[in-house]
């Protein structure tokens, strides 16, 4: 029986949480970073906002931890156990870099798995590149992350998600007057690019768009603007609080159009903010719904209840669970290759993945020069307090997939 050790210690203001580990781990005695050949242990880690403005994002890493704990209890990866260490960065990019240095230089990790946040992952790029550190399923979406040789994100480029939503609105709902309400940052700008590019490929254009700052809590003016434009459909790219504000504003003026939002809003916490106003909203998602009967998602529901019973089961957890599953799949492939268990060879294995399934994700593929791991999305609709699959995974619209291709660094 594996002894699982949990320890908490504060180091210069940073919380370090080591989970799923073995008491036999020798502190820096390995010639291969993060690899204990004698005891068959691979050590991986992540930074996460355990404290700071968005501590609920740490549910992503809780689920990754739950995946590895469950995996270890079932015998690990061909007898190898995974030790997962989470360091708190408070969602501060400077602290993310410091946490990554400690994970590599003090904790001796082999790779990062589910490192948390877009700006925070961008902050570690030069250091991770210099170490040849595999960064598996970083929980952030940016062309800068996608372009890195050692970073393998699952999160989609929001340009592609917006295009998928528009395609569904036009081809399935038969509505082509589409407006956009977008957060004025990288998230919203990518959505705007994707929507405009896709509509242009269909000889259409956006009927109206309205931006908002992330700190805004009332989107009444933006909703009024798109509602008077003749829009039949509104894509909203922002947080669940922004969608809740928009839905309330639309209800006040009795606007009855169709709403679309990105995958991370398809979460039970959104229903808590909106009530039944959320019913009918569509989400283009690289993850299947949490109620899916896929065995790996059923396993998530059981494991998260066991290891983190206070965490809500939803899209954040599925994100982290899928990250753990992706690492396990690739590490097993590395073991099967017979090659040395090195970071360089792990990166080579990641670049060989084609059309694989991991956790709640489908058709994941990476190749050198193009690390857009998610190549397709499903369509989910909110119905009666749940999220229901209404269209299975479909490849991204070709015109936008080509236009959004990562630039060489």
The closest alpha carbon to 65, from 93, 81, 85, belongs to 85
Q: Would you place residue 371 in the very low, low, confident or very high pLDDT band (cuts 50, 70, 90)?
A: very high
Burial 226-251 (b: 16+ CB within 10 A, else e): bbeeebbbbbbbbbbbbbbbbbbbbe
Residue 48 C-alpha from the chain's centroid: 13
- CB atoms < 10 A from the CB of 105, how many? 12
Type and span of the H or E element at 337: helix 315-337
Q: Mean pLDDT throughout 20-27?
A: 40
pLDDT in tens, 221-257: 999 999 999 999 999 999 899 999 999 999 999 999 9
pLDDT at 380 > cutoff 90: yes
Q: Domain locations in the chain?
A: 5-156+292-364, 158-285+378-403
CATH classification number, 158-285+378-403, choose in 3.10.150.10, 3.90.740.10, 3.40.50.2300, 3.20.20.60: 3.40.50.2300
Pull the structure tokens for residue 334.
């590395």
Beta strands 178-183 and 151-152 are unpaired
Residue 29's pLDDT is 37
The phi, psi pair for 397, rounded to 5°, reads: -55, 130
Query: Do 158-285+378-403 and 5-156+292-364 fall under one CATH topology?
Result: yes
Residue 40's pLDDT is 98
C-alpha triplet 242, 202, 219: angle, nearest 5°: 15
Residue 19 CA to residue 243 CA, distance in Å, equals: 35
Residue 193 CA to residue 187 CA, distance in Å, equals: 10
Q: Is 380 left (phi over 0), alpha (psi -120 to 50) or beta?
A: beta
Residue 329's pLDDT is 98
Residue 260's pLDDT is 98
pLDDT at 30 > cutoff 60: no
pLDDT at 11 > cutoff 70: no
Q: What is the pTM of this model?
A: 0.87
Distance between terminal CA atoms of the chain?
A: 46
pLDDT at 151 > cutoff 70: yes
pLDDT at 24 > cutoff 70: no
Residue 408's pLDDT is 53
User: 317 by DSSP, 3-state: which?
Assistant: helix
Whole-number average pLDDT of the chain: 91
List the beta bridge partners of residue 44.
Answer: 84, 111
CATH classification number, 5-156+292-364, choose in 3.40.50.1950, 1.10.599.10, 3.40.50.2300, 3.40.630.30: 3.40.50.2300
């Amino acid at each position: 029986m594996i002894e699982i050790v949990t320890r908490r210690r504060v180091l210069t203001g940073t919380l370090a949480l080591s989970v799923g580990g073995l008491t036999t781990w020798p502190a820096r005695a390995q010639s291969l970073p993060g690899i204990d050949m004698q005891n068959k242990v691979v050590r991986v880690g992540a930074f996460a906002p355990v404290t700071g403005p968005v501590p609920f994002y740490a549910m992503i890493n809780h689920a990754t931890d739950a995946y590895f704990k469950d995996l270890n209890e079932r015998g690990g990866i061909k007898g190898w156990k995974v030790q997962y260490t989470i360091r708190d960065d408070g969602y501060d990019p400077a602290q993310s870099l410091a946490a990554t240095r400690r994970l590599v230089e003090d904790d001796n990790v082999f790779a990062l798995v589910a490192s948390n946040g877009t700006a925070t992952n961008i902050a570690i790029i030069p250091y991770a590149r210099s170490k040849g550190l595999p960064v598996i399923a970083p929980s952030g979406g940016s062309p800068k992350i996608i372009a890195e040789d050692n970073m393998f994100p699952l999160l989609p480029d929001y340009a592609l998600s917006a295009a998928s939503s528009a395609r569904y609105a036009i081809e399935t709902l038969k509505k082509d007057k589409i407006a956009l309400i977008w957060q004025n940052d990288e998230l919203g700008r990518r959505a705007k690019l994707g929507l405009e590019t896709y509509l242009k490929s269909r000889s259409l254009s956006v009927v109206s768009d309205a931006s908002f700052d992330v700190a805004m809590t009332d989107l009444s003016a933006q909703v009024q603007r798109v509602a008077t434009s003749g829009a039949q459909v509104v894509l909203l790219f922002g947080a669940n609080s922004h969608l809740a504000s928009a839905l309330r504003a639309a209800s006040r003026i009795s606007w009855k159009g169709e709403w679309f939002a990105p995958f991370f809003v398809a979460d039970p916490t959104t229903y808590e903010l909106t009530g039944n106003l959320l019913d009918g909203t569509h989400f283009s998602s690289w993850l299947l719904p949490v109620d899916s009967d896929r065995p790996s998602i059923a396993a998530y529901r059981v494991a998260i209840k066991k290891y983190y019973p206070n965490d809500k089961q939803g899209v954040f957890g599925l994100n982290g669970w899928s990250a753990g599953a992706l690492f396990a799949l690739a590490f097993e492939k590395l073991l099967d290759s017979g090659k040395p268990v090195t970071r360089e060879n792990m990166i080579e294995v990641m670049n060989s993945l084609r059309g694989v399934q991991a956790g709640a994700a489908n058709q994941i593929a990476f190749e050198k020069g193009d690390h857009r791991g998610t190549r397709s999305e499903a369509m989910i609709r909110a119905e009666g307090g749940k999220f229901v699959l209404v269209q299975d995974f479909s490849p991204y619209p070709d015109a936008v997939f080509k236009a959004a291709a990562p630039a060489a660094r």
